[in-house]
Amino acid sequence: GAVVSQHPSRVICKSGTSVKIECRSLDFQATTMFWYRQFPKQSLMLMATSNEGSKATYEQGVEKDKFLINHASLTLSTLTVTSAHPEDSSFYICSARAGQGGEKLFFGSGTQLSVL
């Protein structure tokens, strides 16, 4: 399957700081990437759709000024959590479509964010 690389895998930061998470498609180009959030023992929650060369599309209830998404190239999307607070602590996972017609979704390894 297609490889999606996500870094860092784990980050601990102080409240009020910003954290950037990178998501790369290693062996394919991804015009669209997806960012999910997952709390312990809960399901995936789609936060936003990242579009190469244009603005991201955010799901209802997700603050676009807090979760900044940049998709500057066909292989890289970044999510920046600005002014992080303890309630932002969560597992963030990126994904991208691949396969013939882009019908399959492959996930990065995820980033566990802990805000102190």
Which residues contact other proteins by CB under 8 A? Answer: 1, 6, 34, 42-44, 91, 93, 97, 102-110, 112
The nearer residue to other proteins, 15 or 44, going by C-beta atoms, is 44
The nearer residue to other proteins, 39 or 83, going by C-beta atoms, is 39
Q: Structure tokens of 21?
A: 């998470």
The nearer residue to other proteins, 70 or 110, going by C-beta atoms, is 110
**Helix, strand, coil % (nearest 5) of the chain?**
5, 55, 40
Minimum Å distance from CB 60 to other proteins? 14
Distance CA 79, CA 93 (A): 10
Minimum Å distance from CB 57 to other proteins? 11
Distance CA 61, CA 75 (A): 27
Distance CA 68, CA 35 (A): 11
The nearer residue to other proteins, 5 or 82, going by C-beta atoms, is 5
Minimum Å distance from CB 4 to other proteins? 9
Minimum Å distance from CB 76 to other proteins? 18
Residue 87: phi and psi, rounded to 5, are -70, -10
